Amino acid sequence: MSAMQYNEKIMERFLSPENIGEDPEADGIGEVGGGECGDLTRIYLRVENGSVTGARFTSFGCVGAVAAGSAAAQLALGRTPEQAAEFSAGEIVEVLGDFPEEKQHCPENAALAVRRAAEDYIRKGREKGK
């Protein structure tokens, strides 16, 4: 076993995560889970007038998944759905710093959940013929 250690920013974010909780009224929902660790992260986006006005997350996962989910939700705010659909894990790392070697997929999963939520919103709009 390697000595895995999270940096301070990740620990702080984990201990008081902003934007946590479900949003049943969300316009787009993205889910990622079932990887080797089994952690499950969901991102809930609200979109008004072409930009993300609300972003929440839930995570049944490790410290890194919770911290990354919280940062991802916060970073998604104010973007257009198209921009959110391009969201990358690197942006989470810029805010929280590096994740331990074996935890690289935590920000990857959170970023993918944002992209899926944005795509969900875009797809629903298309289905409605907007």
Site for ligand FES in 41-100 (CB under 6 A): 61-62, 64-65
**Rounded Cα–Cα distance for residues 59 and 85 (Å):** 20
Least Å distance between CB 15 and ligand FES? 16
Toward ligand FES, which CB reaches closer, 27 or 108? 108
Cα radius of gyration (the chain) = 14
CA of 68: how far to CAs of 1, 22, 63, 91, 92, in Å?
A: 23, 16, 9, 10, 6
Helix, strand and coil percent figures for the chain, each rounded to 5: 45, 20, 35
Rule CB under 6 A: say whether 13 interacts with ligand FES: no
Rule CB under 6 A: say whether 103 interacts with ligand FES: yes
Least Å distance between CB 26 and ligand FES? 21
Q: Which two tokens stand for residue 98?
A: 């590096």
Rule CB under 6 A: say whether 106 interacts with ligand FES: yes
Residue at 87: amino acid letter: F
**Rounded Cα–Cα distance for residues 79 and 117 (Å):** 13
Least Å distance between CB 32 and ligand FES? 9
Rule CB under 6 A: say whether 116 interacts with ligand FES: no
- Residues lying near ligand FES in the complex (CB under 6 A) are found at 37, 39, 61-62, 64-65, 103, 105-106, 109
